[in-house]
Amino acid sequence: MSISSINYSSSVLGSQIRNINQQLTDLSTQLSTGKLSQNYSGMGTNEGFAIAGRSQISNIAAYTDTITNVNVNINLANTALQSLTTIRNTVQTGSATTAQDLNVNGQTVAQNTAAAQFGSMVGVLNTQSGNRYLFSGTAFNTQSVANAGDIINGTTTQAGLKTVMAERQAADLGANGMGRLVQTQPTPSSVKVSEDVAGSPFGLKIAAVSSTLTGATVTGPSGSPVSFSVDLNGVNPNNGDKLSVQFTLPDGSTEQIDMTASTKIPTPLGSFAIDASVPVNPNNTAANLNTALNTAITKLANTSLVAASAVTAGDNFFNTASSAIGASVNNQAATPAPITGATALSGASPSDSISPGFVAGDTITVNGTTLSFVNSGATGNQLNVGDSIQTLMSKIDAITGTSKPSTVHGGSITINTDNAASLSITTSNTAALGSLGFGSTPVTATQPPLRVGSSPASSATTLVNGSANTVKWYTGNDGPGSPRSTAVARVDDSITVQYGAQANEDAIRKQMQAVAVFGTFSTSPTGQYAGGQVAALSLRTTQALTKQPGEQRIEDIQTDIAMAQNTMKDASTRQTQAKAQLQSIIDQAESASPDQVASEILSLQNALQASYQVTSKLAQLSLVKFL
């Protein structure tokens, strides 16, 4: 028989005791730390879930930091935008209600307030968050707008708004102060009024004429340049008979002059005297009409036209996204006459059509969108060869998305666009496009800011690109795309928010423009028409600061960035919930239950005690006792 070594048995027991001691040590650590292990290898099979969960919690922490930073920017931007609405309301209230009393500088209290508020607007728009200019779009390291003084007064090398307004006023009034209109008496019984130059962007434009003058013949408005005439034909009109002339002003508004025949003495304002001499001489009545009409036109030119000129100069200076292209031409009918919106794009003489005209298969491409000509049955981006010029312009306007419809006036076509940089018109039939007055392709728009094209301004007939010698008021990003997309942040795995803003957005730019023009305009405090000029400008300022259908408002920008905040708030709520769930998974995978650990420690302690007892007995064992 063989006898196993006692040392072998005691070695096995010793190993077991050492294992129990190690387990007790591990369990004691678990009890004190609450963790299953101090390293990944001891965490068990669920540690993979814990690692993934901890990674997601880290991402959530990064998103939380992003949301916090973006909220700071949005809150600052919203405060700035709220300041802009307060400024708008202040200036609007002043322009609508303040008395038109002029100070020694030819301005009202409301205008002085507007000038100060313009400086405040510039400061607001140059708000920074850290080193980021909030209203510069992607150019966030660049100041959003130029200094207020430079914008209004210019620099040593570049003209400011004040100069642009003065040039435009001189060009719109003309040398005779009649809004670029020429008034004559071709015969002793007639009166004629005409625009000075066909296609000029300046001055009053004759839109319509109507008459109830007994025995009189009214001709026009027609011709190139546009004119109208009134011939009394040797007949006195009746008391109360009326001549009405409607004009279009540079800002697109219309004004009407009414001349009423009257026998009252003195002759009422807005009337002309019917000759009462013996014998009656209707030619004297024609002379009276000529004088009264001249007075009325001069007053209109020096009041409403001056105000409209200031507004338009503001648009030329501030609205650097908008421009127009124009061309003048007579149609090619047997009896040439200025083209109108009704002139056909093709047709046989002597019809009112251009020649050469467009034919089926021709195309016109506008900003990459092609319009095709067909013989009949046009749909979508098609035109019938016999369609009118107005139809063509409507198609072009639909493509460009212009906020100001294109026009035909006095044989001159003007195509308006809200994005001068992108406008491009080409055609497969350059001869037909030439018949519309556009002699070269591609047809493009003059880049703003726009300045009066020649000197003296009173006889200028064109607007030209003034970017080389005019202050650039907006200095931030002006590239394509939504201003909101100029600042984008990821706030969740699959969610981004857009919160960018630009000072040249329509709502901000139009407010800047209206406030600057109102605060800059001045007149002679003792001038004959001073009160009328300021009243007309005040009315236009009030309208410009009043919400119009379809126009962007400051509140719209606030709504956009509020939506970004709401999106971040929702994301943050979800992330808080997800973080709690992920932490639970981690805790389940890595945490040790105190009750379970205590129970295991007690069990091991009992086992250890039993092992010690066995070891003690074995230690006393001898060969004699074994036998």
Which amino acid, 335? T
Examine the pLDDT at 508 and tell me if it is beyond 90.
Answer: yes
Task: Indicate whether 205 and 242 sit together in one domain.
Answer: yes
Residue 390 has pLDDT above 90, yes or no: yes
Which helix (H) or strand (E) segment is 94 a member of?
helix 47-97
The per-residue pLDDT for 582 is: 63
Residue 279: inside a domain: yes
Residues 415 and 354 in one domain: yes
Residues 256 and 214 in one domain: yes
Residues 297 and 329 in one domain: no
Look at residue 335 in the predicted model and tell me its pLDDT. Answer: 45
Domain boundary among the residues 445, 479, 514 is at 445
Question: Rounded to an integer, what distance in angstroms lies between the CA atom of residue 51 and that of residue 383?
Answer: 66
Rounded distance between C-alpha atoms, residue 31 and residue 470, angstroms: 78
Beta strands in 460-501 (DSSP E): 463-465, 488-492, 495-498
**338 & 267 share domain:** no
Convert the pLDDT of each residue in 599-626 to its tens digit.
655 665 566 565 666 666 655 655 555 5
Domain for residue 528, yes or no?
Answer: no
Taking alpha carbons only, the member of 322, 191, 189, 321 closest to residue 251 is 322
Q: Which distant-in-sequence residues (6+ apart) come within 8 Å of 543 by Cβ?
A: none
Q: What's the DSSP call for residue 275?
A: P
Residue 236 lies inside a defined structural domain of this protein? yes
pLDDT (tens digit per residue) in 345-374: 987 765 788 888 899 999 999 999 999 999
Map tokens 């009030």 to a residue: 542
Mapped onto helix, strand or coil, the DSSP state of residue 409 is strand
Alpha helices in 98-223 (DSSP H): 109-125, 148-153, 161-173
In whole angstroms, give the CA distance from residue 530 to residue 269: 19
153 part of a folded domain: no
Q: Which of 272, 182, 256, 169 is nearest to 226 (CA)?
A: 182
Which tokens hold the place of 176?
Answer: 């005779």
Check residue 507 and give its pLDDT. Answer: 95
| Placement of tokens 């420690």 in the chain | 601
pLDDT of res. 1: 43
pLDDT at site 31: 53
Residues 328, 439: one domain?
yes
What is residue 69's predicted lDDT score, i.e. its pLDDT? Answer: 93
Looking at residue 118, its pLDDT comes to 97
pLDDT band of 334, cuts 50, 70, 90: very low
Q: What is the mean pLDDT of residues 191-202?
A: 94
At 197-217, the pLDDT tens digits run: 988 999 999 999 999 999 999
Residue that finishes a domain, picked among 271, 306, 341: 306
577, part of any domain = no
Give the mean pLDDT of the chain: 86
Q: What Cα–Cα distance (Å) separates residue 224 from each residue in 33, 95, 337, 343? A: 96, 39, 8, 15
Note whether 208 and 246 are same-domain residues.
yes
Residue for token pair 């296609």: 199
Under 8 Å between Cβ of 542 and 88? no
Residues 58, 602: Cα–Cα separation, whole Å: 39
Question: What is the rounded CA–CA span in Å between residue 283 and residue 538?
Answer: 41
Mean pLDDT of 303-332: 85
Q: Quick one: which of 306, 257, 309 has its CA closest to 533?
A: 306
- pLDDT by residue (tens digit) across 448-494? 899 999 999 999 999 999 999 999 999 998 777 889 999 999 999 88
pLDDT tens track for 111-130: 999 999 999 999 999 999 98
Taking residues 70-80, report their average pLDDT: 95
Q: What is the pLDDT of residue 418?
A: 81
The amino acid sitting at 213 is L
Residue 44 has pLDDT above 70, yes or no: no
Q: Which residue from 110, 537, 144, 142 is spatially nearest to 310, judged by alpha carbons?
A: 537
Residue 305 has a CB neighbour count (10 Å cut-off) of 32
Domain membership of residue 391 as a residue range: 322-445
Whether 355 and 275 map to the same domain: the answer is: no
Residue 132 C-alpha from the chain's centroid: 21
151, 285, 620 from 276: Cα distances, Å:
58, 9, 157
Is residue 96 scored above 90 in pLDDT?
Answer: yes
Report d(CA 89, CA 115) in Å as an integer: 14
Out of 274, 306, 338, pick the residue that ends a domain. Answer: 306
In terms of domains, do 299 and 215 share one? yes
285 lies in the same domain as 335: no
Residues 263 and 298 occupy one common structural domain:
yes
Q: Is residue 169 part of a domain?
A: no
pLDDT digits (tens, 9 = 90+) for 13-35: 566 666 666 555 655 555 555 55
Give the Cα separation of 417 and 364 in Å (integer): 17
Structure tokens at 373: 């000509």
Nearest to 232 by CA among 153, 285, 159: 285
Provide the number of structural domains found in the chain: 2
- Tokens linked to 482: 């939504």
Choose between 320 and 75: higher pLDDT: 75
Nearest C-alpha neighbor of 408 from the set 293, 248, 284, 286: 248
Domain co-membership, 412 together with 337: yes
pLDDT in tens, 555-611: 999 999 999 999 999 998 887 887 777 666 655 555 555 655 556 556 655 665 656
- Alpha-carbon distance of 243 to 231, in angstroms, equals 12
Question: Has residue 455 been placed in a domain?
Answer: no
pLDDT of residue 351: 74
Residue 415 lies in a domain: yes
Instruction: Calculate the CA dihedral of residues 593, 598, 600, 602 and round it to 10 degrees.
Output: -170
